[in-house]
Structure 1
Amino acid sequence: MVTRQPTGRRALVGFCLLASLLPGLAVQANWDFARIIRLAEQRYGGLGIGRERLEQWSQLIEHGGGFDEAEQLRAVNGFFNQALRFTDDASTWQQLDYWATPLEALVKGAGDCEDYAIAKYLTLRQLGVPGEKLRITYVKALELDQAHMVLAWYATPTSEPLVLDNLIPDIRPASQRPDLLPVYAFNAEGVWLPGAGGNQRSGDSKTLSRWQDLLNKMRHEGFARTTGKEAP
């Protein structure tokens, strides 16, 4: 995530384009991490401590399916907040804005706010959390005066969400995060805008090359593919 605040129109277009591409990777228990790690070693060479992080991620997915949703939220939020250190894309990838796959972030041991949020989203979907409960949310971090990304979990579509964030390790209700100003959110079902009467769903979405690139990278990394409705 770049540190500048994106313009509202350009950022909204990006979100509208993004949601339809979320159905792209299978939500299933059979991500083959032995193959995934082998392919990563062929690409990167020795993974060092990155291999340990990938193995820990594999174990989280293997065992986390038996957790209730509250435990899954805590486990996934805590794992990525501890496994990744925050660095901007220019430092990590020598690019202004780069969307890393969870594997790329874990190999590096670093990521920016969008990498945390996307990795948490994909992991929770893989663990079986319904897509309608999760929204990747762009906010303005008021104390930092910059754009930021978090993951929100809704018990019901109209519930107050819980916020999974890399800035604050505790999972808190949105009402306890006055430092965050929602801009818009998305998941596989669509795009939402904040409104006086609550979140308002805003149209369908088409295509977004950056997200498609990320999904394609994950497929090349060895993650399963599906076009089913139950995909992330």
Structure 2
Amino acid sequence: MYRLKCPIFSLSVLLFAGPVAAQYIDGINDQVLNRVASKYGDQARTRVADWKKLMDTNADPQNAVSENKKLKTSNSFFNKIRWVSDQKHWGREDYWATPIEMLGTNGGDCEDYSIAKYFTLKDTDVSTSKLRITYVKAIEYNQAHMVLAYYKTPDAEPLIMDNINLRILPASQRNDLLPVYSFNGENLWLAKARGKKLKASSQRSLPQWRKLNEKLLAEVM
């Protein structure tokens, strides 16, 4: 089953969001895990603990984990989570879940997969300058979708991390996707303007991203 049904965002209201929240890897402790268990159950606690272990392993300089391996382990870990629409899952459209919410409920949709992979890589020392959460159009299905793009260098062809096609492939091999815009914690780019970066001063606030970051902070405090 092709898993899409992500919200279509209007660029007229898409706005720069500011810095991302503190690192999860430093905040997930027994107290946080106990809160997860209390709210979502023991299996949820195990999933979050496994995520913490993955991040600790990939971030440990003694392990010398390559960025390619970090991409693969992050992609594989979250693609095991079941896909479920926001409406069915949260009772509303366009809900951006934190990784803990996604793991706690064992479900999410395309933006949740992309967000979870983004923060996993960010917290394992992959520079956010290499990462862009990317809104695309799935051409065959004429629907909105979201993926995570990784740029080894600023001018490199990005690798696409997706919950639909589970293989990490160069963008040139994803002819089924049409990029529209991308963003990370610092910047916003328009695909149709040849990757033009929008200045933060020209943007207001992206509500979903701001609320997500507020939830991220609250979860590990």
Q: Would you call these one fold, judging by a TM-score over 0.5?
A: yes
Task: Specify the SS of the correspondent of 2:16.
Answer: helix
SS in 2 for 1:15: coil
Q: Residue 112 of structure 1: which of 109, 112, 122 is its match?
A: 109
Q: Structure 2 matches for 1:185-224, cutoff 5 A?
A: 185-195=182-192, 198-204=194-200, 205-222=203-220
**TM-score, normalisation: structure 2:** 0.88
Q: Which residue of structure 2 aligns with residue 49 of structure 1?
A: 43
1:130-180 deviation digits (Å, cap 9, x = unpaired): 011000000001122100000000011111100000001110000000000
In the alignment, which residue of structure 2 is the partner of 1:227?
Answer: none
Question: How many Å separate the matches in 2 of 1:4 and 1:150?
Answer: 11
Letter in 2 for 1:73: L
Once the two structures are superposed, the pairs formed by residues 171-190 of structure 1 within 5 Å of their partners are 171-190=168-187
Tell me the distance in 1 between the aligned counterparts of 2:51 and 2:6. 31
Residues 63-110 of structure 1: CA deviation (Å, up to 9, x unaligned): 01141101100000010001x111100111111121111001101110
- Once residues 56 and 106 of structure 1 are traced to their aligned partners in structure 2, the CA distance between those partners, rounded to angstroms, is 10
Gaps of 5+ in 1: 224-232
Contact 2:37–2:44 (Cα < 8 Å) also in 1:
no
1:40 lines up with 2:39 in the alignment:
no
Distance 1:14 1:155 in 2: 30
Match of 1:31 in 2: 27
**How many Å apart are 1:32 and its aligned residue?**
2.9
CA contact (8 A) 2:6 2:146 kept: no
- Displacement over 6 Å in runs of 4+: none
Are the aligned partners of 1:27 and 1:127 in contact in 2 as well (CA < 8 Å)? no
User: What is the CA distance between 1:222 and its match in structure 2?
Assistant: 1.4
2:163 equivalent to 1:166 = yes
Deviation at residue 4 of structure 1 after TM alignment: 6.5
Q: Which of residues 146, 151, 157 in structure 2 aligns to 1:149? A: 146
Equivalent pair of 2:89/2:108 in contact (CA under 8 Å) = yes
Q: In structure 2, give the amino acid aligned to 1:68.
A: S
Q: In the aligned structure 2, how far is the partner of 1:194 from the partner of 1:212?
A: 22
Partner of residue 16, structure 2? 17
Q: Distance in 2 between matches of 1:107 and 1:154?
A: 30
Matches of 1:127 and 1:200, distance apart in 2: 28
Contact 1:16 1:203 in 2 (8 A): no
Q: How many residues align?
A: 213
Q: Name the CA distance, whole Å, in 1 between partners of 2:12 and 2:98.
A: 22
Larger mean Cα displacement after TM superposition, 159-168 or 57-66: 57-66
Tell me how far 1:2 sits from its aligned partner: 7.8
Counterpart residue identity of residue 48, structure 2: L
Letter matched to residue 131 of structure 1: T
Unaligned runs of 5+ in 2: none
Letter in 2 for 1:11: S
CA contact (8 A) 2:7 2:94 kept: no
More contact order relative to length (CA 8 Å, sep ≥ 6): 1
TM-score (structure 1 length as normaliser):
0.84
Q: CA deviation at 1:207?
A: 1.9
What is the aligned-residue RMSD (CA, Å)? Answer: 2.1
